[in-house]
């Protein structure tokens, strides 16, 4: 098994894979890992569609978009870009694909933080991003052993 090389990777690995009482069955983790490229591909297709709805909603509302609104879209764009880069490596179960998803999960949290300061100014999206990121980190670390054998 490869040593953790990314920031906080060892901490999350210990917390989720060793200390957390609920673990996915090994056979299920293997299925998710094998089809992770397809799952992320679906997310890549849906994410811009949701972003377009948010863009349209803000631009048709009375509130003018501010700098943070555009920054949130930029962060979201980088997240989609990292997920696109991960697709081929995920299909081949390479660790680089897993690492790119790990980084995109942090961008998702950053997106939630930046969106607080956007035109809407609510804290609701941050809580949504934290919950989604927690679920994503849980699944990501459950499938991590499938990606550590190859570089």
Of the two residues 118 and 18, the one the predictor is more confident about is: 18
Cβ-based neighbours of 124, under 8 Å, separated by 6 or more: none
Question: Exposed, middle or buried by CB within 10 Å (0-12, 13-18, 19+), for 90?
Answer: buried
- Assess whether pLDDT exceeds 70 at residue 1: no
- Assess whether pLDDT exceeds 80 at residue 9: yes
Q: Residue 56 corresponds to which tokens in the numbers above?
A: 């349209």
This prediction's pTM: 0.84
CB 87 within 8 A of CB 41: yes
Of the two residues 147 and 50, the one the predictor is more confident about is: 147
Most confident of 27-31, 68-72, 147-151: 27-31
Domain map of the chain by residue range? 37-147
pLDDT in tens, 32-90: 999 999 999 999 998 888 777 777 766 676 567 788 888 888 898 999 999 999 999 99
Cα 26 from Cα 64, distance rounded (Å): 49
> What is the structure's pLDDT at 151?
46
């Amino acid at each position: 098994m490869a040593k953790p090389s990314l920031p906080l990777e060892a901490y999350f690995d210990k917390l989720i894979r060793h200390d957390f009482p609920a673990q996915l069955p090994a056979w299920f983790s293997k299925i998710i890992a094998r089809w992770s490229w397809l799952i992320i591909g679906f997310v890549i297709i849906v994410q811009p569609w949701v972003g377009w709805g948010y863009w349209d909603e803000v631009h048709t509302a009375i509130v003018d978009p501010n700098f943070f609104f555009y920054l949130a879209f930029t962060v979201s764009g980088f997240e989609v870009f990292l997920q696109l880069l991960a697709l081929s490596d995920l299909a081949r179960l390479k660790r680089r694909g897993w690492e790119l998803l790990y980084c995109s999960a942090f961008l998702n949290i950053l997106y939630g933080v930046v969106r607080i300061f956007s035109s809407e100014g609510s804290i609701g999206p941050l809580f949504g991003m934290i919950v989604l990121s927690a679920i994503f980190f849980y699944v990501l670390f459950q499938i991590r052993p499938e990606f550590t054998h190859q570089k």
